[in-house]
Every structure is written in structure tokens, then in C-alpha cells.
Amino acid sequence: MKKTLVALAMGAALSCSNLPAEDNSLTIAKGNARWWHNAVCYEVYIRSFNDSKGTGIGDLKGIENKLDYLKNLGVDVIWITPFYPSPGVDMGYDISDYKNVDPKFGQLKDFDSLVKSAHAKGIKILVDMVFSHTSDEHQWFIEARKSKDNPYHDFYVWYPPKADGSAPNDWKSWFSGSAWEYNKPTNEYYLHIFAKQQPALNWKTTKVREELFSVAKFWLDKGADGIRFDVITLNALPDINQSSDLWGKMPMALIYLKMMNDKVLSEYDILTVGEMPGVDPENAYEFVGEKEGPLKTLFQLDIMGLGNDGDKFHPTPYSLVAFKKIYQNWYNGLYGKGWISAVLDNHDQARAVSRWGNDKDYWKPSAKMLATFLLTQWGVPYVFQGDEIGMTNCPFTPAEFKDVEEINYYKEKIAEGKTEAELLPGILARCRDNARTPMQWSSAKNAGFTSADTPWIKVNPNYKTINVEAELKDPDSILNYYKKMISLRKANPAFVYGTVNIIDFNNENVYAYSREYEGKEFLVVCNFRGTHTDFDTKTADLRKAKLLIHNYSSNPHINDSKISLKPFEAMIFEVK
């Protein structure tokens, strides 16, 4: 949507709101509304959402066919993971042609049709732009690697070998092994922060920036309502004599984003969300500050680093106080000045209910508790596909792994002498494939995801009991709870704009907070542990407060300000 039209509409809306004309402080907290402030977003992992063609892989038409389901859930925006031509080494995050649709997922006209149908239902679309690297099969890289004087050579990051022929430095790829790959024709190494088939782009080259900015413009002009930017702070890279700890932290990252905003993004009334490693609550204002930030929002993914010993595949218990501190720091850094998002998982993480809840004894209450938490957070919430029905981690065998990250890790550790028995529990607890199993639509073959005999990745065997069809019929289902939570958020601006005050911060079991806005106050209480626990909300006579939602069917045990909480029990009160 072009900005001028919207600015007119916004102007009209603002002039009725009695806001002091020149009051620019805390504009967000005072309700200087943007269309995305109160939006609930939903991440569609396209490969696994819905297959309309019987290929075993989800596609654009498949999404269009499920728009009514999403509308009914209450979703305003869908973020679609990459659907551009790609060899699929990193499941689409290795793009070989930015301005097209991979035939696996459909055609350009399917995108147009999806946008049209979504807009007709009031649903907006975010596209995913992977601008820090391409596929090694992108025409730019095919050219670039041919010779040093090829016009595309400078599109990528090259360094000569050390005197002994080895890689320029010891940087490690985030997908295991060296971050460098040798290229014989030029006798150089190229940088890849992810798989070796994902060469890093060199944003220092003006032409690279121009090309990428034109890609963003292409999709926005096609009607996309916003962009999710993949690992976008990796657009600026340290020198090879510096540490890879600086990845994502180079000052030029912000400057390049400002260039993109000036040239393209600022022309549209869009939602942008950056996946920005290296950005923290202290400097986030520069990136997403309301006044000058080049992007509108960012993903706060710090919680994903909790609960391991430094190796993501070595899970350990996590501290709830550390979890709260992360949210609190971001709130302190940005509330009233800029905007973030709220997520509990995504396509790169284990399933939220398996990680932060309990997918066995307390599957239903813990999934509902997480919904209560997510949808009362400050920041645009993202529901990851399948979480709304409580989809869980999947019992893969190593032969069933599809994701390059866990495959590389597994191979590397086996080569180092580890055994399958030692490795499997940790990998199964945290691997990305957990999030990527097909959406469980029904108890029919392959969970109703595809009519093909074999979907591209294993279907979670629990689909016979955990599926949309069954949950739509059950008033007490996780799905119906999500629907209620989404409408509760929308009906009460306090959950969008309100202050957050965490109660009993150092409590390791309970995450409780009030959200207050324009004379209204809500109290949210979430037991994050699978044990009974007593909690003092410090809110006088809770029996007089209105209980808005509760994840158990029996009444909560309240005594004045105290609640005796069951495992993973959660509730929201209207206090004022």
C-alpha cells in the first residue's frame, strides 16, 4: 500500500483523537496508532502449511485455501517464509532468483491471487527477504566465482588463502565447520555464515544494494504489506582480523538499513520486522525507534538462548527470572519509543509447548498458558503455525532429519567420536525440524496436509489426536483458547499499549504482571512450571476482580490477594 493514501486516512483518524498536536514524547504509548500496533501475526512455514497440488510440499495456493481458517482464528497478518526459486539447501533461505516464485510453491500469479484474496478478507501479507546471502546457484554467484574481473565478483566477500593455502581466518559457520569455502577459478575463499551454499553478499558494493532495494520494491509493488528481514544485521561484516563475535554488530549495518529505508521502505505504509542478531535493548532504539529507526519492529529472540550450556543441542533447565529479565530489558529500552514483537518459537526453534511447557502430562494447560502469555505481551505477537493447536516436537530418527543445521552438527559430532545415543536427546529437544513437520489439519492420511503418498518431511505421529478438525469441534481445545485470547487482546488496548509491571520479579515459577492503560488495569498470572505453587499477586481481594480467561475448567483457588496455582495454570483478571 502506498503511503500517501494511508497518510490521508491516518490524518483523519488522528484529528479525532484529541492528541496534543506537537506532543512527540511517548507517542506510541499515547495511542498514535499504526495499523500494525494491535495486529496479531501468524507465521506460515510455507513448505509445511498446506499442499494444494499433491506434491508433498506446501504452496501458495494452499495458503490461499486456508485463509478462512486464519480469518476465523483472528489473525491480521501472515508472514510467509521464502517461496522464491531456491535449491532448498536451507529450505528456501538460499535464494537463486529474488523476483520469482519457485515452481514448487506456484507462480507469480498465485502470489497475486493470494494477496488479492487475503486483502479481501482483511488479512495482510509479509514477505521474507533474505538479503545477507544468496544461494550459490544465484546467477550473481555463478558469475562472481568465474574470475576476479567478472562484473559480479564484488557482489560477494572474497579473501585470498593464507600462505599455506588454508582459509583466511578461523571463523566458524553457524551451521558447523569453517565459514570459508575455497573457489579454485579465482584462488580465493568466499565467506558463508550459514551453509557453504549460502555465500554472503557484500553490501559495500553499491550495485548489490541497488539490486536488493529493487527486490524489496518489487514485492511491495505487488501488494505485500510488509517485510520480514532475515538476519539483516549481517549486511555489514567485520574485517578478517576481527572476531566473528562482531557479526551483526558493525555500525554500517544501521547505515545500510537507513539507505534502504530512505530509498524504498519509507515510501510505503508497511510493517517491517528485522531479525537482527547483535542488536540489543541498548541500541535497538536506533534501529526501530519510532522517530528515526529504519525499521518498524524487530524480533526479540534472546529467550531462545536460554536453557543450554553454550551448545544449543545441550539443553539444560532455564531460569524464569532470566527469561523475565530479557523481556524487562527490552521493555525498558524501547517502551514508548519504539516497537518490538513477541514470539515463543518460530521455524528455527523447537515447539513452544515442548520447550517452555510440558507436551506430555500438561500438554493442554501448558499450551494455553503460553497463549495467555504471548497474547498479553507488549509487542506485536507472532503465532507460529500449529502452535494454536498445540503441535509438539517430533520423534525423528537421524535418517529422517531434513535440516542442514542438525545434519551438519550430527555428522560433525559423530566424526568427533560421539554416539547416536549421546547426541539424539539433545538434538530432538532443540532441532529446527520440530517446527517444520506438516500442519496437522485432520486425522486423515498425512494429517490432511497433502494427498501425496510421502510429504517432504515426516508427519508428527500424534496427528490423529492433535489436529485442527478435532479442535474446531471441541470448545475446550487449545485452538478455541487461542481464538479467545486473540479477541481479548483486540478488545483491550491495554494489552497493546499498556505499561507492564512484573510482580514478584524474582519468583522462579510464576510470571505475573499487570498491563495498565487509560484507567484500565489487567492482571496476568502464568505458572511456568509443572508443579503446584502459591503466589501472592499483591492485588487486594482478587475475588472482586473479574476473571476474564482461565486455562483450567475448575475455579482458581483464591484467597484475598493469593492464588494457589496448579501446574501451568494461567488466568487474566480485569482489576480496574
The nearer residue to ligand GLC, 130 or 212, going by C-beta atoms, is 130
- What residues contact 510, with CB distance under 8 A and at least 6 apart? 320, 504, 525, 526, 527, 528, 533, 535, 565
- What residues contact 351, with CB distance under 8 A and at least 6 apart? 345, 359, 386, 387, 391, 392, 393, 434, 435
Q: Tell me 178's DSSP state.
A: B
Which residue of the set 275, 388, 433, 516 is catalytic? 275
Tell me the closest approach of the beta carbon of residue 567 to ligand GLC, in angstroms: 32
Contact 269, 262 (CB under 8 A): no
Classify 151 as helix, strand or coil.
Answer: coil
CA 215 to chain centre: 21
The nearer residue to ligand GLC, 117 or 408, going by C-beta atoms, is 408
Tell me the closest approach of the beta carbon of residue 511 to ligand GLC, in angstroms: 26
Residues in contact with ligand GLC, shown as a per-residue x/- string from 300 to 339 under the rule CB under 6 A: ----------------------------------------
90 binds ligand GLC (CB under 6 A): yes
Distance (Å, rounded) from C-alpha 483 to C-alpha 101? 32
Nearest to 66 by CA among 95, 88, 42: 42
Contact 73, 482 (CB under 8 A): yes
> How many residues would you count in the chain?
576
Residue tagged 487509560 (cell numbers): 518
Count of residues in contact with ligand GLC, rule CB under 6 A: 9
Site for ligand GLC in 258-297 (CB under 6 A): 275
Interface residue with ligand GLC, options 230, 269, 359, 521 (CB under 6 A): 230
Tell me the closest approach of the beta carbon of residue 107 to ligand GLC, in angstroms: 24
Q: What letter represents residue 514's amino acid?
A: S
Distance (Å, rounded) from C-alpha 20 to C-alpha 490? 25
Distance (Å, rounded) from C-alpha 472 to C-alpha 474? 6
Interface residue with ligand GLC, options 42, 141, 171, 194 (CB under 6 A): 194
The nearer residue to ligand GLC, 84 or 93, going by C-beta atoms, is 93
Residue 472 CB-half CA count within 13 A:
12
Which residue of the set 43, 136, 230, 387 is catalytic? 230
521 binds ligand GLC (CB under 6 A): no
Classify 570 as helix, strand or coil.
Answer: strand
* Residue 110: active-site member: no
Residue of this chain nearest to ligand GLC (CB atom): 93
Tell me the closest approach of the beta carbon of residue 242 to ligand GLC, in angstroms: 21
Residues in contact with ligand GLC, shown as a per-residue x/- string from 342 to 371 under the rule CB under 6 A: -----xx-----------------------
Tell me the closest approach of the beta carbon of residue 98 to ligand GLC, in angstroms: 14
Residue tagged 508433498 (cell numbers): 56
231 binds ligand GLC (CB under 6 A): yes
Tell me the closest approach of the beta carbon of residue 134 to ligand GLC, in angstroms: 10
93 binds ligand GLC (CB under 6 A): yes
137 binds ligand GLC (CB under 6 A): no
The nearer residue to ligand GLC, 275 or 388, going by C-beta atoms, is 275
Interface residue with ligand GLC, options 40, 130, 227, 457 (CB under 6 A): 130
The nearer residue to ligand GLC, 175 or 362, going by C-beta atoms, is 175
The nearer residue to ligand GLC, 199 or 294, going by C-beta atoms, is 199
* Residue 51: active-site member: no
Contact 294, 254 (CB under 8 A): yes
Q: CA angle 33-35-38, nearest 5°?
A: 80
Classify 165 as helix, strand or coil.
Answer: coil
Sites of contact with ligand GLC (CB under 6 A): 90, 93, 130, 194, 230-231, 275, 347-348
Which residues are identified as catalytic? Answer: 230, 275
